[in-house]
Amino acid sequence: MPANSGICVLIIDDNVGSLELLESALAQPEVEILTASDPDQGLDLVASRHPQIVLTDLLMPGKSGLEVLTRIMEIDPSTDVILMTAHYSTETAVEAIKKGASDYLNKPISIASIRQKLAKLIEANAQRQRALQLQAEVLANADFEGIIGNSPLMWDMFSRIQRVAPHYRSVLVTGETGTGKDLVAQALHRLSPAHRGRLVVLNCSAVVETLFESELFGHVRGSFTGATADKQGLVEHAHGGTLFLDEIGDMPMATQAKLLRVLQNQEVQRVGSLTPRKVDVRVIAATHRNLHTSIEEKTFREDLYYRLAMVEIHVPRLADRQGDLSLLTGHFVSKFAAQYGKSIRGLTRRAEIQLLKHAWPGNIRELENVIGHAAMMTMTDLIDIQDLPPYLFGNPHGVPPVHSEAPEGLDTLEQQERMLLVRALDEARGNQSQAARQLRIGRDALRYKIKKYGLEAANS
Residues 300 and 157 in one domain: yes
Across the beta sheet with 282-287, what order do the strands follow?
Answer: 199-203, 242-246, 282-287, 170-174, 312-314
Residue 159: CATH number of its domain: 3.40.50.300
Domain limits for position 93: 7-139
Residue 188 CB burial class (10 angstroms; 0-12, 13-18, ≥19):
buried
Quick check: is 145 in a domain?
A: no
Domain end: 96, 114, 139, which one? 139
Residues 99 and 114 in one domain: yes
Residues 242 and 342 in one domain: no
Given this model, what pLDDT does residue 176 score? 96
Residues 79 and 218 in one domain: no
Given this model, what pLDDT does residue 405 score? 43
Residues 32 and 122 in one domain: yes
Quick check: is 398 in a domain?
A: no
Q: CA-CA distances (angstroms) from residue 404 to 296, 366, 373, 386, 422?
A: 57, 31, 22, 21, 8
Quick check: is 144 in a domain?
A: no
Rounded Cα–Cα distance for residues 143 and 150 (Å):
8
Quick check: is 230 in a domain?
A: yes
Rounded Cα–Cα distance for residues 276 and 303 (Å):
21
Residue 38: CATH number of its domain: 3.40.50.2300
Strand 382-383 and strand 346-347: the pairing is parallel
Rounded Cα–Cα distance for residues 47 and 172 (Å):
52
pTM tops 0.75, yes or no: no
Residues 170 and 193 in one domain: yes
Given this model, what pLDDT does residue 400 score? 33
> Cα-Cα-Cα-Cα dihedral of 259, 263, 269, 274, to 10°?
-110
Number of domains in the chain: 4
Given this model, what pLDDT does residue 414 score? 64
Quick check: is 445 in a domain?
A: yes
Query: What residues in the chain have per-residue pLDDT under 50?
Result: 1-5, 396-410, 460
Given this model, what pLDDT does residue 416 score? 65
CB neighbour list of residue 446: distance below 8 Å, 6 or more residues apart: 421, 432, 435, 436, 439
AA identity, residue 70? T
Given this model, what pLDDT does residue 42 score? 92
Given this model, what pLDDT does residue 443 score? 74
Note the pLDDT tens digit of each residue in 145-198: 999 999 999 999 999 999 999 999 999 999 999 999 999 999 999 999 999 999
Residues 282 and 349 in one domain: no
Residue 69 CB burial class (10 angstroms; 0-12, 13-18, ≥19):
buried
